[in-house]
Amino acid sequence: MTDDAVPELRASDADRERVAEVLRDAVAEGRLDMEEFEERLEATYKARTYGELTPITADLPAAGVVPPPVNMVKEPVESGSWAGRIVGGEGSSTAAVAIMSGFQRKGRWTVPKRFTAVAFWGGGEIDLREANFADREVEINCIAIMGGAQIIVPPGVEVVVRGIGIMGGFDHSQEGVPGDPGAPRVIVTGFAFWGGVGVERKLPRAERQRLKEEQRRQKLEGGSPTKELYGSHHDALSGLHDAHREAMEEHREAMRRRHEERRERHEERRERHRERRERRHRDWD
């Protein structure tokens, strides 16, 4: 098949959704205004071929291709220290939007001083375990409306939660855990309506893999110190997961009770209406 024939290939729903995600990121970052966003989104869902999809995002950067800015005056720091991960600059991504869809920010990215996440009938994951930070204190502002966001932080990072929930909630289980010297501080703010924002603490993947390999080596050598260390991390993280799960269960139970109360009020109104109708019929007779 020639290159000229590619634009005539039929586009799939997944292809259209990938283009829509680029548009959502662009409007969140201020590259498009709402009128342009709506026009392009409508064209995206009407597109039938690759040739019709390609021009929609031709002037927008693809997700994840913008390199983090480099602070040219930054002093050298010890390899592996927290100071080496506070890099300055503007951040590689400033916002994420999920409207009846999802988003992810993970891997080696730079968290800006303020990151905004919007989830409407959708959800997203903000993973900070491998991330760099534009400043020693960063703010993650989450707006969750009938949706949710999950924030994952590594050990050593201080977390402060200031979000407000209405028939929804913010997870406060990670507050009060002291941060490492020089580690960044993450402030979680925002608003949750019939939604939730969770915060959990996990070891970075490389550290988990190192512990597993050390545990395997100790087992072969007949020792157990690393097994005990890994077990203590596992127990601590399990406790955090349990606390988050209990909070979410309480939220779901509150929603269930509210739904039951509304149903009962509706039944009472129907019963009163039926009684009035029967009295009118008796009066007519």
Residues 6+ apart with CB under 8 A from 27: 33, 34, 36, 37, 97
User: Which SS3 state, helix, strand or coil, does residue 169 take?
Assistant: strand
Token couple for 75: 């002093």
**What confidence score (pLDDT) does residue 5 get?**
52
* Helix H or strand E segment including 141: strand 137-145
**What confidence score (pLDDT) does residue 268 get?**
81
User: Measured at the alpha carbon of residue 85, what is the angle toward residues 175 and 196, in degrees to the nearest 5?
Assistant: 35
The one-digit pLDDT tens for each residue of the chain (285 residues) are 445 555 678 888 888 888 888 888 888 778 888 888 888 988 998 888 888 888 898 888 765 555 445 444 444 444 457 878 888 888 888 889 989 888 999 888 899 999 999 999 888 999 999 899 999 999 999 999 998 999 999 988 999 999 998 888 898 988 888 888 889 999 999 999 988 999 999 888 777 777 777 777 777 776 555 445 445 545 545 554 565 566 566 656 766 777 677 777 777 877 887 887 788 777 776
- Quick one: which of 201, 206, 134 has its CA closest to 173? 201
269, HSE (Cβ side, Cα atoms, 13 Å): 6
Residues forming beta bridges with residue 97, ordered by sequence position:
118
**What confidence score (pLDDT) does residue 241 get?**
53
pTM above 0.75, yes or no: no
**What confidence score (pLDDT) does residue 285 get?**
64
